[in-house]
Amino acid sequence: MAGWLERLALSSGPDVVALLVAQGEISTKALDAFVAWSEGGGRPAADELRRLEHEADDARKQLVSALKASLATPIGQEDLFVLSERCDRVVNRVKNIAGEAEVLDWEPDSMAAEMSRELRAGMTSVVTGFSSLAGGSDDAEQAAAETTRSVRRIEHAYRMAMADLSGSTDLRAIFTARELYRSYVRAAEALEGLSDRLWYALLAEP
């Protein structure tokens, strides 16, 4: 009887996994805009990034509202909530990079562009994992592993970028670039936190 009631609740309630995927897809578009900005897209790309960040916020609110209304969910409600929050955190981090760079009058360089592409690749992998959460863990596990590899590549690019700074004599440029590079790494750390929670959600499933 309990199993029948759970199936009924799942079939009649909102599709919370689809809402998580929708948030993830908008977040991926935001990362596309971030890549465009990091590759020299300037103010138009930054404006598009900010617009998509607001759109991702709206998608998160829809998911949270659906969780409140759901009697049962395909995976734990806490997992869905935390995955959504950590996805939002990544988008906020990259939006803040663009804003900070504008204030500091810093133009992203080739190393920043490389790190941004890995951030987008990692987010794309995570969203693939979101899509498979309700139906099986194999694809989601692979997606989490791919995201972790993207994070490691960002860390490598960061070390290379920092090494390149050692040849400069412009202290202000060194300080500014170092701070912005670190912001890329912090975005990568947020992405890794999202990937780790995806792993956890899989492990928590019976």
Local mean pLDDT, 10-residue blocks, the chain (206 residues): 38 79 97 98 97 98 91 84 97 98 95 97 94 71 90 96 85 91 97 93 70
Do the beta carbons of residue 122 and residue 146 sit within 8 Å? yes
Which residue is associated with the tokens 């959504």? 84
Phi, psi of 139 (to 5 degrees): -65, -40
Do the beta carbons of residue 80 and residue 47 sit within 8 Å? no
Return the pLDDT at 40: 96
Cα 186 to Cα 4, 119, 124, 171, distances in angstroms = 45, 11, 18, 22
Q: How many CB atoms sit inside 10 A of residue 189's CB?
A: 16
Return the pLDDT at 177: 93
Total-model pTM: 0.89
> Between 110-131 and 77-104, two packed helices, what is the crossing angle to 10 degrees?
160
Q: How many CB atoms sit inside 10 A of residue 118's CB?
A: 23
Tokens standing for 33? 């805009």
Return the pLDDT at 136: 55
For residue 27, count CB atoms less than 10 angstroms from its CB and return exposed for 0-12, middle for 13-18, buried for 19 or more: buried
Which fold does the domain 12-204 belong to in CATH? Methane Monooxygenase Hydroxylase; Chain G, domain 1 (1.20.58)
Tell me how long the chain is.
Answer: 206
Do the beta carbons of residue 151 and residue 121 sit within 8 Å? no
Return the pLDDT at 146: 92
